[in-house]
Structure 1
Amino acid sequence: MLKKIFILFLCLVSMACTSKKELGTEGRPIQFALVPGQDSTVLMENGKVLEQWIHAQTGLFVKMQVPTNFVAVVEGMGSQRVDVAIMNTFGYIMAHEKYGANAKLIGVNLGRSEYWGQIITSDPKIQKIQDLNGKKIAFVDPASTSGYLLAAKLFKDENIKPSEIVFAGKHDSVVTMVYQGRIDAGATYHTPEENGVPQDARRLVKEQFPDVFQKVRILKLTGPIPSDPVVFRKDFPADLEKKLTSALKSFGSTPEGAVALKKLYHLTGFKDCDDKDYDSTRKILLDMGKNVQDFVK
């Protein structure tokens, strides 16, 4: 009995010591989440590059993670299992309204801090958006802005009623399903061409399917919307926030950082922002007659 009490005492002491460790130290690293919009291996590999950059610039210890879905990132903000995250636009609005999380940086791509959604198909019989009535459609996730929300608004405006809806979980999964003909059409993010080369979600599977740009075409664009933000949980220490935002803004200026950012979220850098930058997305919700809670039930 005494042995069990002693072991319990040691566990309590260990827990107390851990809780007292300062955030950003090796014993209590800052938990940094990457919203899962594509292959988790790609995100983690390039997230590690960012993790090392932050440590080199600030001395802070950061631990990257890729939660299972958008909502898991939001809930992580509420439980403090996530301190900082690069989030999708709508996921941020959820985190802000539910848990008081705040956007401090916005992603930039070649000077643009906005992006679009797109409807894609490989079916030659589908030539206009109205042809999607009664069709099987794939979305990314209920909390994905370009991969669901914008497309859902378009369908509402055009009175399009799919026969079946599938949530694939990731943008590359939607493209793959369209390419393979498993669905009639899908919704993903869109980024304008660079030097005549498509940069939208289809590029995520080009290595696996070299003819994806020929086989899968863009039916219609949706948007634009503000780019993905860097979000801090409520009550995150201001001094650590300042260090992290400074490191993030300089990351894209290095060759390694430029490559990693492009592979992560097709960005070239970050710039300062605040919550008001995302009011346009809130308006889309209002136009649809929905609120954040409709997407987290």
Structure 2
Amino acid sequence: MLKNIFALILSFFLLSCTAREDLGSKNHPVQFALVPGQDAIVLSENGKLLERWIQQQTGIHIKMQVPVNFIAVVEGLGSQRVDVAIMNPFGYILAHEKYKAEAFLMGVNRGRSEYWGQIITKNPKIRSLSDLNGKKFAFVDPASTSGYVLPAKRLKDANVRLGEIVFAGKHDSVVTMVYQGRVDAGATYHTPAEDGVPQDARRLVISQFPDIYEKVRILEKTDSVPSDPVVFRKDFPEEMRKKIVEAMKSFSSTPEGAKALKNLYHLTNFKDCTDKDYDHVRQILLDIGKNVQDLVK
């Protein structure tokens, strides 16, 4: 009997010690989320390289995760299931408003810290936005900046009334649906061409569809928004945050890191930022006539 009681007390003691392990330790790693804008395997494989880099540079244990959708990243920051995230601007606005999450870095692509949305189509009869009236259209996700918020504003400004609307979940899925003719048009992210080679979301499926650039064309670009931020949850330890920020800013200093960062979100580096850098996104939401909660209901 005494032996059983002792075993029970020991079990509770061990559990208590585990629960008290410091954040960033092997048994209590920092939970790092990657917004799921493209193939989860690509994100996971390249995210592991970033995970290893941060641990090597700081001694902080990191665990990468790819949540099921954009809103799961936001809610994870609110529930402390996510400590840090690379996320889209609109998702950040929502996480900041609801849970006081804070952006400290933003992505840089060859000196630019902005990107665009785009509307793409394969249908030869669609030559202008007005031709989209009544047509079947694919967005990425209600919380996607370039895959929903920006094109929604552009369509609203053009007084376009779409027909059936679907949410494909990822940018590459939207491109695939447009290529296969399952929708008349769709919305994805846009970044400028490099050395004459397109770098927008169509590139995500070029291995499956080598003629994607010939078959699917860009109908129109949206206004730009600031690049994706690196966001920390409320009350994340300041000293640990500073170490992670510095490690991420040096990630592209090696060929392996530079390649992984491009594969993740088509970035070449990170730079410091503040919440004010995303006021432009807030203004876009006001222009649409909605707030963040309205768009994710």
TM-score by length of 2: 0.97
Which residue of structure 2 aligns with residue 100 of structure 1? Answer: 100
Q: Against the structure 1 CA distance between its residues 285 and 2, is the aligned structure 2 distance closer, same or farther, given a 3 Å change threshold? A: farther
TM-fit CA distance, 1:13: 3.3
Alignment of 1:140-289 (within 5 A): 140-289=140-289
Distance 2:40 2:124 in 1: 32
TM-fit CA distance, 1:7: 7.4
- Structure 1 residue 47 and structure 2 residue 47: aligned? yes
TM-fit CA distance, 1:162: 0.8
Distance 1:8 1:222 in 2: 62
Q: Against the structure 1 CA distance between its residues 287 and 5, is the aligned structure 2 distance closer, same or farther, given a 3 Å change threshold? A: farther
Which residue of structure 2 aligns with residue 110 of structure 1? Answer: 110
Which residue of structure 1 aligns with residue 61 of structure 2? Answer: 61
Q: Structure 1: state its 5+ residue gaps.
A: none
Q: Against the structure 1 CA distance between its residues 8 and 275, is the aligned structure 2 distance closer, same or farther, given a 3 Å change threshold? A: farther
Residue deviations 1:94-151 (CA, integer Å, cap 9, x gap) = 0000000000000000000000000000000000111000000000000000000011
Distance 2:114 2:259 in 1: 20
Distance 1:240 1:64 in 2: 16
- Structure 1 residue 88 and structure 2 residue 88: aligned? yes
Which residue of structure 2 aligns with residue 18 of structure 1? Answer: 18
TM-fit CA distance, 1:4: 9.1
TM-score by length of 1: 0.97
Letter in 1 for 2:62: V
Q: Against the structure 1 CA distance between its residues 205 and 8, is the aligned structure 2 distance closer, same or farther, given a 3 Å change threshold? A: farther
TM-fit CA distance, 1:289: 1.2
Distance 2:111 2:67 in 1: 29
TM-fit CA distance, 1:10: 5.5
TM-fit CA distance, 1:190: 0.1
Which residue of structure 1 aligns with residue 73 of structure 2? Answer: 73
TM-fit CA distance, 1:14: 3.8
Partner secondary structure for residue 253 of structure 2: coil
Partner secondary structure for residue 166 of structure 2: strand
Letter in 2 for 1:125: K
Distance 2:145 2:80 in 1: 24
Q: Structure 2: state its 5+ residue gaps.
A: none
Task: Let me know the Cα RMSD of the aligned residues.
Answer: 1.5
Partner secondary structure for residue 90 of structure 1: helix
Equivalenced residue count is 297
Distance 1:47 1:233 in 2: 19
Residue deviations 1:8-37 (CA, integer Å, cap 9, x gap) = 755543432222101111010000000000
Distance 1:271 1:76 in 2: 24
Aligned-pair identity (%): 71
